[in-house]
Amino acid sequence: MLKRTFVKGLGLAAATMLLGGTALAQDAFKVGLILPMTGPSASTGRQIDAAVKLYMAQNGDTVAGKKIEVILKDDTGAADQTKRLAQDLIVNDKVNVVAGFGLTPLALAVAPLATQAKIPEIVMAAGTSIITEKSPYIVRSSFTTAQKAVPIAEWAAKNGMKKIVTMVTDYGPGIDAEASFKKAFTAAGGEVTAEIRTPLRNPEFAPFLQKVRDLKPDAMFLFTPSGLGAALMKQVAEREFDKAGIKVIATGDVTDDDQLNEMGDSVLGMVTTSQYSTAHPSPENKAFVAAFKKANPNLRPNFMAVGGYDGMHLIYEALKKTGGKTDGDSLVEAMKGMKWLSVRGPVSIDPETRDIIQNIYVAKVEKVDGELYNIEFATVPDVKDPVKAGK
Ligand code: PHB
C-alpha cells in the first residue's frame, strides 16, 4: 500500500515535471547565434558575443512572456560549417531566429535555409549589399561597405584628391567598396587610376603596396574586413606613403577600434568613414562603452559589437511588437521600418530592402589619453545602401 502510493506519487511528480518542461519549451524563444569565435575573424565573434550578452544583461531575458535563449555556435569563419550549424539549429534545436554571420559568405550560406524554414536571419556583421536580396527573411543590423565607401569618395574629391588607387580585399564587400568608391569619386570629378585586389586568406600586402607607391597617386583608398587592419597598417607604415606624398584613406573597417591601438602612431591623422566609433560622443554611447568595458575589461567595443547589440534590439522589439507571435513572417514584418536611437546614432530598417539606414561619420585617428581613437568630425545623415538605391 505504502509502496503503491509512493510509485503513484512519483508518477505524478514526473508527469508534472514533464508538463512543466513542455510549458517551458513553449515559452522559450531561441536565437541560434553563429559566429567565428576562432580563426582569422575571431575578433568579430568575440565582439558580437560580448555585445549580445551585454544587451541581455541590461534588458532581461524575458520578452512578451517568452524566455530568450541564445545558443552560440562557432563556425570558425568557414561557410560549410555555418551552413551545417544553421541546419542543426533549425532542425534539432528548433530555433526561432538565426543571427550573427561574421563574413559575407557565411551570411549567404544560410539564406536558403532561412527562406525554407521561414525564420528571420539577422545579419549582425557581414556587409555585401546583395545579401539582403538573397532571402526575404534577412534583416541586417550591421552596414553595407558601399554605405561607407561613397562618403569617403566624396570627402576625398572635396579635399583636393584627383587621382586615387583603390586596394581592397578580393571578395564581396571589397568588390562593393571598390565599385562604389569608383562610381562616386568619378562622379565628383576624380579618377581611379588602378584597382588592386588582395586575397582574403593570409594576405601578403607588400608587393601590392609597392605597386601603389610606384603609381604615385594622390591617395590610396583601402578596404579590408575587420581583423585584418592591423597587419595591413603595419605594412603601410613600413612603406612611408607620407614621404611619397600619397595620402591613405579607408573605410573604418581598417582602423577598427578592436585593433586600432596596435597600429601605432603612423596611423595618426588617417581619415576614414564608419557608422560607429568607440569615441562617438553621445550619452547613449558613453554609457554603452562604459558598460561594455566593465563586462569585458580588456576590450573596447567596435562596430561589430554595435551590430550585435542592435541585432538583439531588433529581435526584442519585434517580439514585443508581435505581442509574442513567433512566426518568421510576423517578426520580419515587425522589423521593417523599425526606428530607434542606437549607440551609433539614429537608425532605422529600410522597409523595402531590410537594410539599416544610418549616419556615416567621417573620422580622423587621434590620440586621446594615450590611446588611439577614430574622432568623428563630419556626419552624412541617414545613408541608405547606395547599391540598392542605384547610386
Ligand atoms: C563581410 O565579410 O561582409 C565583412 C566583414 C567584415 C567587415 C566588412 C565586411 O569589416
Which atom of ligand 1 is closest in space to residue 105's alpha carbon?
A: 2
User: Is 190 near ligand 1, meaning CB less than 6 Å away?
Assistant: no
The Å distance, Cα 46 to ligand 1 centre, comes to 15
Q: How far is CA 136 from the centre of its chain?
A: 19
Distance 107 CA to ligand 1 centre (A): 10
Instruction: Report the pLDDT averaged over residues 344-360.
Output: 98
The answer, yes or no, to whether any atom of ligand 1 lies below 6 A from the CB of 126, is yes
Q: Which of 226, 272, 274, 302 to mutate to test the pocket of ligand 1 (most atoms within 8 A of CB)?
A: 226
Does 251 sit in the ligand 1 pocket, CB within 6 Å? no
Strands 163-169 and 219-223: parallel
Closest C-alpha residue for ligand 1 atom 2? 103
Average pLDDT, the chain: 94
Query: Which pLDDT band, with edges at 50, 70 and 90, does 25 fall under?
Result: low
Among protein residues, the one with the nearest Cα to ligand 1's atom 9 is: 127
Report, in angstroms and rounded to the nearest whole number, the Rg of the chain calculated over CA atoms. 23
Q: What is the pLDDT of residue 9?
A: 47
> Of 90, 91, 134, 82, which is closest to residue 112 (Cα–Cα)?
134
In contact, 99 and 75? CB cutoff 8 Å: no
Kindly tell me if the per-residue pLDDT of 23 is higher than 50. no
Query: For 155-175, what is each residue's pLDDT tens digit?
Result: 999 999 999 999 999 999 999
Q: What does the pLDDT look like over 177-231, one tens digit per residue? A: 999 999 999 999 999 999 999 999 888 999 999 999 999 999 999 999 999 999 9
**Tens of pLDDT along 287-317?**
999 999 999 998 999 999 999 999 999 999 9
CB 63 within 8 A of CB 320: yes
Q: How confident is the model at residue 22 (pLDDT cuts 50, 70, 90)?
A: very low
Which range among 16-25, 191-200, 261-270, 328-337 shows the weakest confidence by mean pLDDT?
16-25
* Burial (0-12, 13-18, 19+ Cβ within 10 Å), 337: exposed
Percent of residues, the chain, with pLDDT higher than 90: 91
> Is the beta carbon of 77 within 6 A of some atom in ligand 1?
no
Compute the distance from residue 271 Cα to the ligand 1 centre, in Å.
19
pLDDT of residue 26: 59
Residue to substitute in 253, 273, 276, 356 for testing ligand 1 pocket (most ligand atoms within 8 angstroms of CB): 253
Cα-to-centroid distance, 222 and ligand 1 (Å): 13
Atom number in ligand 1 closest to CA 128: 3
Residue 13 has pLDDT above 70, yes or no: no
Which of 43, 48, 75, 104 has most ligand 1 atoms within 8 Å of its beta carbon, as the pocket-test mutant? 104
